[in-house]
């Protein structure tokens, strides 16, 4: 029986998409500033949206000035009293004058939720539906900010593995990662060596390599690296729910030494969900193209993402969450212009100034979408 598709709730500053399942509903909620709204007011508006959904937060990202991010967290603690979900606070200018660029939340209603803890802070939450057990992760990092960056990266991956073990999962259950690195251009090569070595130890290659975003920005914890992730384990052994999706316009990132998949698709009884990695202006050989031309880089990136959507029978209207990263906040205008010129729907996107993993890349887009089975 085909799942009844519910239209997203879209009002100024709020985009809320429901993914109903058997007895539960997953929610993707994105909040962006309205006018001169304060971070505290945005946080209250977000929590009110979650309350109206009757949901619990699984994973929470905040982008903006770090002081504003911390103000939003403080408001959440006042309103919710007990914070038992992972919050990742990331620095980035919206380019549009607001202290906060926006917040993404993945939430659940209709199912019990268990919290995973490390160093007395929440780093993950688990739930299950009729197809699988899920784990959403965030704020995973080394506790020693003074350690060398590659050491912090190694410890962060080890802490990711330990958090998964609390959920009775392994790295082989990971479908998606987010990698937020302070001063990324200074040590991205070293980071890639650490990740590749860790994946080799975990025997990831030859299996599913997760979709991923690797982006440069400071965080409120002062860590060199903060990890987030999504993992799932099917109830029926030997029944894969996640598979790699190849990009029609780009070759595998593994071909040039980056250990991630361009996209993965998660399929259950109700939905196909496409999780597209951070995507930029890169040709099939792995080279940056349109160097110095923001509009051309935006155009190619959007065509690559659209081709991935179309390859799975989806369109921009199926988007549930997106983050657009810009080397300079002033480049947001090029993205807005593209969306208007191509008459795209109002996307649940947060636009933020962050360093892309190559100095000559000016724009990167990550995007999730869904289609009813």
CATH number of the domain enclosing 48:
3.30.1330
- Across the range 7-36, mean pLDDT stands at 92
DSSP secondary structure code for residue 48 in this structure: H
Look at residue 259 and tell me if it is in a domain: no
For the ranges 9-13, 109-113, 149-153, 242-246, the lowest mean pLDDT is seen at 9-13
Confidence grade of residue 257 (pLDDT, cut at 50, 70, 90): confident
Q: How confident is the model at residue 6 (pLDDT cuts 50, 70, 90)?
A: low
Do 6 and 70 fall into the same domain? yes
* pLDDT, mean of residues 312-336: 97
Q: How far apart are CA 321 and CA 170, in angstroms?
A: 26
Convert the pLDDT of each residue in 354-364 to its tens digit: 999 999 999 99
Q: What is the pLDDT of residues 97-135, one digit of tens each?
A: 899 999 999 999 999 999 999 999 999 999 999 999 999
- Could you say which of 81, 110, 139 is where a domain stops? 110
- Given this model, what pLDDT does residue 8 score? 76
pLDDT above 50 (res 9): yes
Written as six digits, the tokens of 71 are: 């103000």
Domain assignment of residue 1, given as a range: 1-110
Q: Could you tell me what percent of the chain has a pLDDT over 90?
A: 88
- Contact partners, residue 52, CB within 8 Å, separation at least 6: none
- Is 125 inside a domain boundary? yes
Cα separations in angstroms, 346 against 51, 342, 343: 24, 12, 9
Do 372 and 283 lie in one domain? The reply is yes
- By CB atoms closer than 10 A (0-12, 13-18, 19+), residue 63 is buried
Give the span between the Cα atoms of 79 and 84, in whole angstroms.
13
Say if residue 5's pLDDT is above 80.
no
Which residue spans within 194-345 are E strands per DSSP?
211-216, 225-234, 242-245, 263-267, 271-279, 319-326
Query: What is the rounded distance in angstroms from the CA atom of residue 357 to the CA atom of residue 187?
Result: 10
Tens digit of each residue's pLDDT (9 = 90 or more) over 205-241: 989 999 999 999 999 999 999 999 999 999 988 777 8
The answer to whether residues 229 and 164 belong to one domain is yes
Is residue 352 predicted with pLDDT exceeding 70?
yes
Q: How far apart are CA 101 and CA 69, in angstroms?
A: 10
Residue 267 lies in a domain: no
Residues 98 and 124 in one domain: no
Q: pLDDT confidence of 4, banded at 50, 70, 90?
A: very low
Total domains in the chain come to 3
CB 216 within 8 A of CB 354: yes
pLDDT band at 258 (very low <50, low <70, confident <90, very high): confident
The 10s digit of each residue's pLDDT in 170-190 is: 999 999 999 999 999 999 999
- pLDDT, average across residues 240-262: 90
Positive or negative, the CA dihedral 51, 57, 60, 65 is: positive
What is the spatial distance between Cα 224 and Cα 181, in angstroms, rounded to a whole number? 6
159 and 84, same structural domain? no
Domain membership flag for residue 158: yes
Per the domain annotation, does 262 fall within a domain? Answer: no
The domain that holds 159 is classified in CATH as 3.30.1330.40
Q: How far apart are CA 246 and CA 311, in angstroms?
A: 9
- Tell me: pLDDT of 1 over 60: no
Q: Reply yes or no on whether the pLDDT at 44 is more than 70.
A: yes
Question: How many Å is the Cα radius of gyration of the chain?
Answer: 19
Quick: pLDDT tens for 274-286. Answer: 999 999 999 998 9
CA geometry: angle at 49 spanning 45 and 54, to 5°? 145
Is it the case that residue 344 has pLDDT exceeding 80?
yes
Helix (H) or strand (E) holding 44: helix 39-52
Residue 104 and residue 123 in one domain: no
Q: Are residues 121 and 233 in the same domain?
A: yes
**The last residue of a domain, from among 58, 80, 110:** 110
Mean of the per-residue pLDDT values for the chain? 95
Q: What is the mean pLDDT of residues 317-323?
A: 98
For residue 65, pLDDT over 60 is answered with yes
Residue 79 located in a structural domain? yes
Residues 163 and 56 reside in one and the same domain: no
Q: What is the mean pLDDT of residues 325-345?
A: 97
Tell me what pLDDT residue 18 has.
96
- pTM, two decimals, is 0.95
The answer to whether residues 218 and 314 belong to one domain is: no
Residues 85 and 157 in one domain: no
Tell me the pLDDT band of 7, cut-offs 50, 70 and 90: low
pLDDT score of 253: 85
Domain-terminating residue out of 240, 259, 287: 240
Together in a domain, 106 and 16:
yes
Tokens of 299: 């155009």
Tokens standing for 186?
């200074």
Please report whether residue 56 resides in a domain: yes
User: Is the predicted pLDDT of residue 83 greater than 70, yes or no?
Assistant: yes
**Residues 98, 122: one domain?**
no
Instruction: Judge whether 157 lies within some domain.
Output: yes
């Amino acid at each position: 029986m085909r799942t009844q598709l519910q239209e997203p709730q879209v009002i100024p500053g709020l985009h809320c998409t429901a993914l109903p399942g058997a007895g539960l509903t997953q929610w993707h909620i994105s909040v962006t500033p309205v006018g001169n709204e304060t971070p505290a007011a945005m946080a209250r508006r977000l929590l009110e949206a979650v309350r109206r959904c009757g949901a619990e937060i699984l994973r929470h990202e905040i982008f903006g000035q770090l002081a504003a991010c911390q103000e939003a967290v403080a408001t959440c603690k006042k309103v919710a009293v007990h914070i038992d979900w992972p919050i990742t606070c990331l620095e980035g200018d919206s380019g549009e004058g607001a202290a906060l660029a926006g917040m993404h939340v993945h939430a659940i209603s209709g199912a019990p939720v268990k919290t995973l803890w490390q160093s007395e802070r929440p780093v993950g939450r688990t739930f299950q539906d009729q197809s699988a057990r899920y784990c959403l992760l965030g704020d995973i990092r080394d506790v020693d900010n003074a350690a060398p960056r590659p050491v912090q990266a190694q410890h962060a991956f080890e802490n990711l593995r330990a958090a998964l073990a609390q959920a009775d999962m392994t790295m082989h259950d990971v479908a998606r990662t987010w990698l937020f690195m302070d001063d990324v251009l200074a040590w991205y090569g070293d980071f890639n060596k650490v990740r590749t070595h860790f994946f080799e130890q975990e025997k990831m290659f030859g299996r599913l390599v997760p979709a991923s975003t690797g982006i440069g920005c400071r965080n409120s914890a002062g860590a060199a690296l903060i990890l987030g992730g999504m993992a799932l384990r099917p109830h029926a052994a030997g029944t894969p729910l996640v598979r790699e999706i190849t990009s029609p316009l780009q070759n595998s990132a593994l071909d040039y030494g980056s250990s991630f998949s361009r996209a993965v698709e998660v399929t259950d009884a109700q939905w196909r969900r496409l999780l597209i990695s951070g995507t930029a202006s890169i040709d099939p050989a792995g080279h940056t193209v349109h160097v110095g031309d923001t509009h051309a880089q935006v155009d190619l990136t959007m065509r690559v993402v659209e081709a991935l959507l179309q390859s799975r029978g989806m369109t921009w209207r199926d988007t549930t969450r997106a983050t657009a990263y810009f080397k300079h906040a002033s480049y947001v205008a090029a993205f807005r212009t593209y969306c208007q010129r191509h008459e795209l729907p109002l996307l649940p996107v947060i636009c933020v100034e962050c360093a892309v993993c190559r100095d000559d890349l000016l724009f990167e887009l990550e995007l999730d979408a869904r289609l009813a089975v």
